[in-house]
Amino acid sequence: AQSVTQLDSQVPVFEEAPVELRCNYSSSVSVYLFWYVQYPNQGLQLLLKYLSGSTLVKGINGFEAEFNKSQTSFHLRKPSVHISDTAEYFCAVSDRNTNAGKSTFGDGTTLTVKP
Amino acid sequence: NAGVTQTPKFQVLKTGQSMTLQCAQDMNHEYMSWYRQDPGMGLRLIHYSVGAGITDQGEVPNGYNVSRSTTEDFPLRLLSAAPSQTSVYFCASRPDGSGANVLTFGAGSRLTVL
């Protein structure tokens, strides 16, 4: 079984400030890790993913995330946010060990960037 | 345009009515899935399919049926709608069952059950 906990349901931040969205996961098997973004009235789209290798992964729009195996975390960061980053962000995990790897999502974090 | 197409975008039903949410993809993806999104609860997996003729239950399958007769289509059926099924529904696909692959999402279908 897998679970994903996003530690902040809402994160307000001023434009050009740094931001961190926190994600912890629990799983009895090895997993792949993802961050997706959902803009208003749209479906989800991929920000970045961790499959293997370097624990620091870079994604689109200047976002990056660091996989910490000992902490079972995958926090998302951006050094300077823009108004256009206002959206809902979802952390997700997928099972590595099957050919039907179900994806489990966190409850989401709403990032609001203020001018 | 390549991608996942969901219809309808909006639907209002009365309790007890039935309906089908349509999902079609033109990327030749083997894996397709349905999620529901509710405020504060993220996305929860309803049903999924790893190929034509193969379906399985996800986290919240009760009240929903699916079938996969072709690679392209994966309809979600509500046989007797209940207010608890008011939600936004997303269809998502990926090339195969491997969890390493990224999900491609449709734009969503907003369902209200009165």
The predicted pLDDT at position B99 comes to 77
- Tokens 């999620």 appear where? B35
Asked if A76 and A63 count as a contact pair (C-beta separation under 8 A), the reply is: yes
Closest to A72 (Cα-Cα) out of A9, A8, A27, A20? A27
Asked if A18 and A82 count as a contact pair (C-beta separation under 8 A), the reply is: no
**Chain A neighbors of B39, CB-CB under 8 A:** none
Q: Does the beta-carbon distance from A32 to B99 stay under 8 Å?
A: yes
- Between A41 and A4, the more confident residue is A4
Examine the pLDDT at A98 and tell me if it is beyond 70: no
Q: Which of B96, B100, B106 sits opposite A32 (nearest CB)?
A: B100
Closest to B60 (Cα-Cα) out of A105, A90, A43, A10? A105
Q: Which two three-digit tokens encode residue B37?
A: 């999104």
Cβ of B23: how many Cβ atoms within 10 Å? 25
**From the candidates B46, B105, B110, which should be mutated to test the interface with A, based on the most A CB atoms within 10 A?**
B105
The predicted pLDDT at position A99 comes to 63
The predicted pLDDT at position B1 comes to 63
Q: Which two three-digit tokens encode residue B82?
A: 């209940």
The predicted pLDDT at position A102 comes to 79
Per the prediction, chain A carries an average pLDDT of: 92
- Between B97 and B57, the more confident residue is B57
Q: Does the beta-carbon distance from A105 to B42 stay under 8 Å?
A: yes
Examine the pLDDT at B97 and tell me if it is beyond 80: no
- Tokens 């970045």 appear where? A48
**Chain A neighbors of B43, CB-CB under 8 A:** 44, 90, 105
**Chain B neighbors of A32, CB-CB under 8 A:** 99-100
pLDDT tens digits along B11-24 = 999 999 999 999 99
pLDDT tens digits along A39-69 = 988 889 999 999 988 899 999 999 999 999 9
DSSP states of B6-70: EE-SEEEE-TT--EEEEEEESS--SEEEEEEE-TTS-EEEEEEEEETTEEEE-SS-TTEEE--SS
**Of the listed ranges A12-21, A62-71, A82-91, B89-98, the one predicted with least confidence:** B89-98
**From the candidates A102, A107, A109, A110, which should be mutated to test the interface with B, based on the most B CB atoms within 10 A?**
A102
Beta strand A109-114 with A10-14 is parallel
Mean pLDDT to the nearest integer, B86-102? 89
Examine the pLDDT at A27 and tell me if it is beyond 80: yes
